[in-house]
Chains A and B, each alone.
Chain A
Amino acid sequence: MLTLLVVLMFNTSCATTLIRELRRPPVTPSDSSINDVKVHMKDGSLYVLDILDMDNNSDTAYGFGIYYDKYRDVIIANTDPSGQWTDKRFSIALPDIALVEVNQIKNKMTGKITGISLVSVATIGITAYCLTNPKACFGSCPTFYSWDGTDTTLMAEGFSSSILRKYEADDIDMLYHARPTGNTFSLRLTNEALETHVIRYANIMLLPRGEGERVFATEEGKFFETSDIHPPVSCKAPEGDCLEQLRSMDKKERYSRSDPHNLITKESVELTFTDVPEGETGLILGCRQTFMTTYLFYQGLAYLGRSAGYFAARIESGDRLPQRKFDRIKDLLGPIEVFFQDSGGRWIRAGEIPESGPIASDLHLIRLPETGSEEVKIKLRMTKGLWRIDYAALGRLGREINPIIVEPSEVQVKNNPDAGAVPLLEDQQTPLITLPGDVYELTYRLPDVGDNYDLFLKSRGYYLEWMRETWLEEENHFKAAVFFGFPGLYLRHAGNDFKKVENDLEESFWNSRYVKKN
């Protein structure tokens, strides 16, 4: 054992390595963009850029980042610390560029850390519900609670799809029911799962609106004032009338059971709206996923067993093959596709809602073209048993507006008096890391914009599932090979197993939340 360790000490080929490449312009063989580059100028000044756009038909490159002089004093920056563009782009003359520096990290440590963390096994703290239904153990990302005027309720779940650092992405959730008191707004951030959460930021986006209006966001992150909001006059689903469940955002949801013969069977729900206002309109949909995705995700981890960490590390290290296999399952399950019926009776695709997450319903805006008709029919096409729809409405879209970003002014640990200083969620390189049972209070000082505004939460981070001991008992690499290698085949035959737990998943999930007792 000692000899092995000594040999490995001198073998650094597995260690994290920074590979630096210097190129002279033109930097790329064709028009393209490069992320995270440094442009060394002939006069000694330096651009450190988040993105550099090259146009090989022109003598100029463009970028966003920070510009330093030769003594490394900042001359100007056109991005803020979160990477948002704050000014016009730099124009960089190609003849003045000495070198362009591109860095690549090989064998990044985070991939290996992911591998270790994923193999952590929780042997305590598993509730009875979790033991009886292991695939229903509470999971899937940080949860945010706030005051709704009556009680502190669940408002949002952050970055549900970010199950590894590789999948880290921004997530915007509408805090539809939030009722701030005065100019201070509080969010309770909890980790109620057997997971490690890594949170880079959790900012509030404040959008003033007019009386009787609400603000909704599209999948592209654009915000629109919306007025004349009204529910459908009819809702037809395979099981019958579903109008009552969709009238308001009240947790009375329309959902279906999965197809036991094929988990990716599709179904359609048709909505009819009358009194369609003139001008551009938008469909507003409040929805969340059922626990089918959670069940399948956990099942995949269970089949991988002790190898789960290895595959996670491969994805983190940039291996596209396992990542593509994992993404394929998500593609097969699919989003909610939204179609509208044109004057010729054809169904035209208007957009889709892909957001994952079974915990908190979120609201989505799909822009619709002007039809000139007083009635519009909408079809929602989705995988049977995968979606729970709480609310549907049509509204007239006003102007697009930009949010006021509010960062937390205070981050407090609520249930650990011995905790030291807590990152303020200001610096993305110093994320807040939470473990099961952690509770934090985030306080925001809202600007004085009057009483009419809507709040959204913009968060970024990722989380790591802890392998449950009961899952390891199901380790089966043959089944894992089918699951990831032939997902369509697997999903066609997994229906019977899923049906055995489907009815109890919702109750088991909520009752298996991990909450520290003081």
Chain B
Amino acid sequence: MSKRINRIIQLTVCLIFLTECQSSMVPRAYMPGPSMAGKSPAGSWIVMTLQQDPPLSPTAEISGELIAIEHDTVYLLTDAGFVKIRRSNISAAILYPFRPQSATAPIIAGLSLLPNMIGAIAMPDPGVAVLLLGIPLVVTATIMGLNEHFGNRLRYPLKYNLNDLGKFARFPQGLPPGLDPTKLRLK
């Protein structure tokens, strides 16, 4: 096998493990597949970077389920409980609506290539067929995997405003009247 093909396959394998890095930051219950994300009764997971009086105070990071965003306050449900954050203190945020799909394409490509690889070993002259089909398959899967790795995030302020992220809150309409925050539970 040539060095170049070897390198591409190594990259594909790496992508499979990259997913695990991202998903370990977010509780598994908040990482549904894309088709289930629209059916979850909870809000999406969000990681916020806070800064109070820049540039004097250090930044802090807080993560939890997005409960609601109102015109001056963001509400999160964290491990420590219900938290209110002033919008003006939020310098950045990343929201994760679903599980990244970055491993899927490389895994499928790998499985799909199995017949080719076995056939190449079995046949006396694998010829160009394995290379012609194998390389495009691996490259395609690698590129798709890389795209998917970053595609499942909504970033503020890079690409979205806070109101866009508010659509993924448990209460996109705002906090309902009479809500007892002590009764809220993470998934």
Contact mask for chain A residues 90-123; partner B; CB cutoff 8 A; 1 contact, 0 none: 0000000011010101001100110111011111
Known: A18-B34, A116-B108, A123-B120. A109 touches B140 (CB 8 A): no
A1-28 contact mask (Cβ, 8 Å, vs B): 1 or 0: 0000100111110111110101000000
Also in contact, A121 and B176, with CB within 8 A (given A16-B101, A105-B35, A116-B141): no
Contact indicator B115/A123 (Cβ below 8 Å): yes
Q: Is the CB of A72 within 8 A of B41?
A: yes
For residue A447, CB closer than 8 A to chain B, the reply is no
Q: How far is the CA of A167 from the CA of B75 in the complex (A)?
A: 42
Interface pick from A42-50, A231-239, A373-381: A42-50
Q: Which of A11, A68, A101, A123 interacts with B116 by CB under 8 Å?
A: A123
Residue of B176, B178, B179 with most partner-chain A CB within 10 A? B176
For chain B residues 165-182, which have a beta carbon within 8 Å of chain A?
A: 167-168, 170-173, 175-179
Q: Mark B147-170, 1 if CB is under 8 A from A, else 0.
A: 111111000000000000001101
CA distance A42 to B175 in the complex (A): 9
Known: A42-B173, A71-B183, A101-B172. A9 touches B144 (CB 8 A): no
A98 near B38 (CB under 8 angstroms)? no
Q: How far is the CB of A460 from the nearest CB of chain B, in Å?
A: 15
| Interchain residue pairs with CB less than 8 A apart (6) | A43-B178, A71-B185, A105-B35, A105-B38, A108-B35, A116-B112
> Looking at chain A's contact residues, is the secondary structure mostly helix, strand, loop, or mixed?
mixed
Within the complex, what minimum Cβ distance (angstroms) separates A102 from chain B?
Answer: 8
The answer to whether B115 and A16 have CB atoms under 8 Å apart is no
Q: Which of A8, A9, A18, A466 gathers most chain B CB within 10 Å?
A: A18
Query: B116: which A residues are within 8 A, CB to CB?
Result: 120-121, 123
Cβ-defined contact, A43 with B39, below 8 A: no
Q: List residues 112-142 of chain B with CB under 8 A from any CB of chain A.
A: 112-113, 115-116, 118-120, 122-123, 129-130, 133, 137, 140-142
Given A18-B97, A40-B172, A72-B41: A124 and B150 within 8 A (CB)? no
Known: A12-B151, A40-B171. A113 touches B104 (CB 8 A): yes
Q: Which residues of B contact A109 (CB under 8 A)?
A: 34, 101, 104-105, 148
* Known interface pairs A12-B147, A16-B34, A16-B148; A119-B172 also in contact (CB < 8 Å): no
Known: A18-B34, A117-B112. A48 touches B151 (CB 8 A): no
**Chain A residues with Cβ under 8 A from B36's Cβ?**
429
Q: Does B31 contact A (CB under 8 A)?
A: no
Report the Cα distance A469→B122, complex, angstroms: 15
Q: Which listed residue, B109, B123, B184, touches A116 by the CB 8 Å rule? A: B109
Alpha-carbon separation in the docked complex, A125 to B101 (Å): 31
Contact between B176 and A42 (Cβ–Cβ < 8 Å)? yes
The complex places the Cα of A429 from the Cα of B31 at a distance, in Å, of: 14
Q: Scoring A residues 123 to 139 as 1 if CB is less than 8 Å from chain B, else 0, what string do you get?
A: 11100000000000000
Residues of B within 8 A of A124 (CB): 115, 118-119, 122
| B172 touching A22, Cβ below 8 Å | yes
**B147 contacts A125, CB within 8 Å?**
no
In Å, the complex CA distance between A130 and B151 comes to 42
Report the separation of the CA atoms of residues A109 and B152 in the bound assembly, to the nearest whole angstrom: 11
CB distance from A122 to the nearest CB of B (A): 5
Contact A20 B38 (CB under 8 A): yes
* Contact of B42 with A by CB under 8 A: yes
* B120 and A98 contact, CB distance less than 8 A: no
Which residues of A have CB within 8 Å of B119? 121-124
Contact of B151 among A15, A72, A469 (CB under 8 A): A15
Residue contact B118 to A72, C-beta cutoff 8 Å: no
Cβ–Cβ contact B152 & A119, under 8 A: no
The residue from A36, A113, A125 contacting B39, defined by CB atoms under 8 A apart: A36
Interface size on A, residues (CB 8 A): 49
Shortest beta-carbon distance from B79 to chain A in Å: 17
**Which of A17, A36, A122, A123 has the most C-beta atoms of chain B within 10 angstroms of its own C-beta?**
A123
Is B9 part of the contact surface with A, judged by Cβ < 8 Å? no
Q: Would you call B97 and A15 a contact (CB within 8 A)?
A: no
Give 1 or 0 for each of A46-79: 1 = CB within 8 Å of chain B CB. Answer: 1010000000000000000010101110000000
Picked from B98, B112, B167, B185, the residue with its CB within 8 Å of the CB of A119 is B112
Contacts of B26 in A (CB 8 A): none
Q: Is B143 an interface residue (CB 8 A)?
A: yes
Known contacts A9-B146, A10-B150, A12-B147: does B38 contact A70 (CB below 8 Å)? Answer: no
| A374 to B101 Cα, complex, angstroms | 64
Asked if residues B183 and A22 are in contact (CB atoms below 8 Å), the reply is no
* B13: interface (CB < 8 Å): no
Q: Given the complex of chains A and B, what is the CA–CA distance between A5 and B130 in angstroms? A: 22
Q: Which of A9, A103, A116, A306 contacts B150 (CB 8 A)?
A: A9
Interface residues as binary, A234-256 with B (CB distance below 8 Å gives 1, 0 otherwise): 00000000000000000000000
A388 within 8 A of B: no
Interface mask (A143-182 → B, CB under 8 Å = 1, otherwise 0): 0000000000000000000000000000000000000000
Chain B residues within 8 Å of A12, by CB = 147, 150-151
Does the CB pair B150–A72 fall under 8 Å?
no
A68 and B39 CA atoms in complex are apart in Å by: 12
Give the CA-CA distance A8 to B140 in the complex, in Å. 11
Evaluate contact between A5 and B143: CB separation under 8 angstroms.
yes
Q: Which of B33, B98, B101 has the most CB of A within 10 A?
A: B101
| CB-based contact B115/A122 at 8 Å | yes
Q: Is A38 an interface residue (CB 8 A)?
A: yes
Cα-based distance from A108 to B37 in the complex (angstroms): 13
Closest to A115 in B: B140
Which B residue's beta carbon lies closest to that of A68? B41
Tell whether A44 pairs with B143 under 8 Å between CB atoms, given A15-B152, A72-B41, A98-B173: no
What B residues does A18 contact at CB under 8 A? 34, 37-38, 97-98
| Complex contacts, A469 vs chain B, CB 8 Å | 129
> Are A71 and B37 in contact (CB-based, < 8 A)?
no
User: Interface code A207-235, partner B: CB below 8 Å = 1, 0 otherwise?
Assistant: 00000000000000000000000000000
Least distance between B108 CB and chain A CB atoms (Å): 5
| Complex interface: chain B residues within 8 A of A36 (CB) | 38-39
Query: Would A48 and B39 be within 8 Å (CB), given that A8-B146, A40-B171, A40-B173 are in contact?
Result: yes
